[in-house]
Structure 1
Amino acid sequence: MLRCAITDRSIFPGDESQKRSALLETVSHWAAEGIELIQLREKNLAPDDLVEFARAVRAAIPEESASRLLINSSLRAALLSKAHGVHLPAHSPLLPDDVRRRYAVERLGEPIITVSCHHLAEVQIARLNHADAILFAPVFGKMVKGLEVTPAAGLEALHAACVAAAPLPVYALGGVTRENAPQCVEAGAAGVAGIRLFLRPFGTPLPPG
């Protein structure tokens, strides 16, 4: 089961400095545990601040780690931090091949490019645009303070997305827990993605396999 851990420093206690320190420590744990993808998703940071923080997060991942850092949406931050790739929204004007060309110009190696998808049409477009993997959501819905703010797409929709995406791997996102993660794999997902799913003290991260 592949794993994609998504960051959100706002869930940690303390002031901004403490939140960032806690997130960097968490990233170090993720890297030590070999979580395949770590997506830096801190949308409220100013562009230059995001670059600086992305560099710190990249430094928290040892070169020998199997973990790969993706920066959400910002190609600039990804390039300047020498991240391993970029995560793109479904309707991004930036295409995977655009990212690859920029990485080639900067001689940063072959990037990993994942794309968020919510509907089959988006999945098909991401596949045609040569994404490396798809994050399909929200499989089990999105909850905020115990209230459902986004209805669940469901396991049948996840299965259809996996069929449409093939041979690209699909990560199930949205309400995924340790208990329902196996259902996602049974539906065809190559792995699971989430924020709290991989956080301590919420339990040991899901093992690979």
Structure 2
Amino acid sequence: MFRCAITDRTLFPGDESQRHAALVQQATLWARRGIDLIQLREKDLLAADLADLANGILAAIAAESSPTRLLINRSLQAAVESRAHGVHLPAHSPLLPGHVRRRYASLGLPAPIVTVSCHTLAEIQIARRNRADAVLFAPVFGKSISGQLVTPAAGLEALHEACLAADPIPVYALGGITEENAPQCLAAGAKGIAGIRLFHK
């Protein structure tokens, strides 16, 4: 089962420098556990700050001699500056997987991993047409913030349909994923799972 851990430094106490250090330490644990992908998703940070945080995580991954790969959410600039392993793109992003690959190639960097968020079958088709390396389909079991449901669950049948539509691109199930319901996601066709709080342990 492939695993994608998504960051959220606001889950850690302290000031910005303490949260930065705590997130790098968390990434070290993920690398030690062999998490497949880490998505650095700190949308409020400037590209330079994202790159700095990415450098710390990449150093942690290297120190663990781990196969874990780091993707930067949205920011191609931060990804190339830090030499991250790739980029995660939101649905309807003007930046396409081909743009990311060409930018990496122009700088002589290894071919990047490009994943894309999808919520509908139409978005799945676009991601497939644009040759994304993987799709994060959400919210399978709904999205909650502070215990309040803000986005209804798409459900396992929708996940199954998404996996069929994406084939041969792998799909990661996202949204309310737990250790208990993860097997249901795999049975529906997902190749892996993704989450924030799921992996912050």
**TM-score bin (small chain):** over 0.9
1:203 is aligned to none
Q: Distance in 2 between matches of 1:84 and 1:48?
A: 17
1:140 is aligned to 141
Moved more, 58-67 or 96-105: 58-67
1:55 is aligned to 55
1:76 is aligned to 77
TM-score by length of 2: 0.97
Q: How far does the alpha carbon of each residue in 1:74-114 deviate from its partner, in whole angstroms, 9 at most, with x for none? A: 00100000000000011111111111111111111111000
Structure 2 regions of 5+ residues with no counterpart? none
2:171 is aligned to 170
Deviation at 1:157, TM superposition (A): 0.4
Q: Moved runs in structure 1, 4+ residues, more than 2 A?
A: none
Deviation at 1:20, TM superposition (A): 1.1
1:93 is aligned to 94
Q: Distance in 2 between matches of 1:49 and 1:15?
A: 15
2:10 is aligned to 10
Q: Which amino acid aligns with 1:137?
A: A
Secondary structure, aligned partner of 1:43: coil
Deviation at 1:16, TM superposition (A): 1.4
Q: Distance in 2 between matches of 1:136 and 1:105?
A: 30
Deviation at 1:47, TM superposition (A): 2.3
Q: Distance in 1 between matches of 2:138 and 2:81?
A: 29
Moved more, 150-159 or 63-72: 63-72
Moved more, 128-137 or 44-53: 44-53
Q: For residues 10-29 of structure 1, what are the structure 2 equivalents within 5 Å?
A: 10-29=10-29
Structure 1 regions of 5+ residues with no counterpart? 201-209
| Residues matched between the structures, number | 200
Q: Distance in 2 between matches of 1:119 and 1:60?
A: 35
Q: Distance in 2 between matches of 1:100 and 1:145?
A: 37
Q: Distance in 2 between matches of 1:50 and 1:39?
A: 12
Q: Distance in 1 between matches of 2:34 and 2:106?
A: 29
Q: For residues 174-185 of structure 1, what are the structure 2 equivalents within 5 Å?
A: 174-185=175-186
1:119 is aligned to 120
Q: Distance in 2 between matches of 1:46 and 1:110?
A: 24
1:37 is aligned to 37
Q: Which amino acid aligns with 2:145?
A: V
Q: Distance in 1 between matches of 2:42 and 2:30?
A: 17
1:207 is aligned to none
Moved more, 63-72 or 169-178: 63-72
Secondary structure, aligned partner of 1:149: strand
Moved more, 120-129 or 100-109: 100-109
Secondary structure, aligned partner of 1:140: coil
Q: Which amino acid aligns with 1:40?
A: L
CA RMSD of aligned residues (A): 0.9
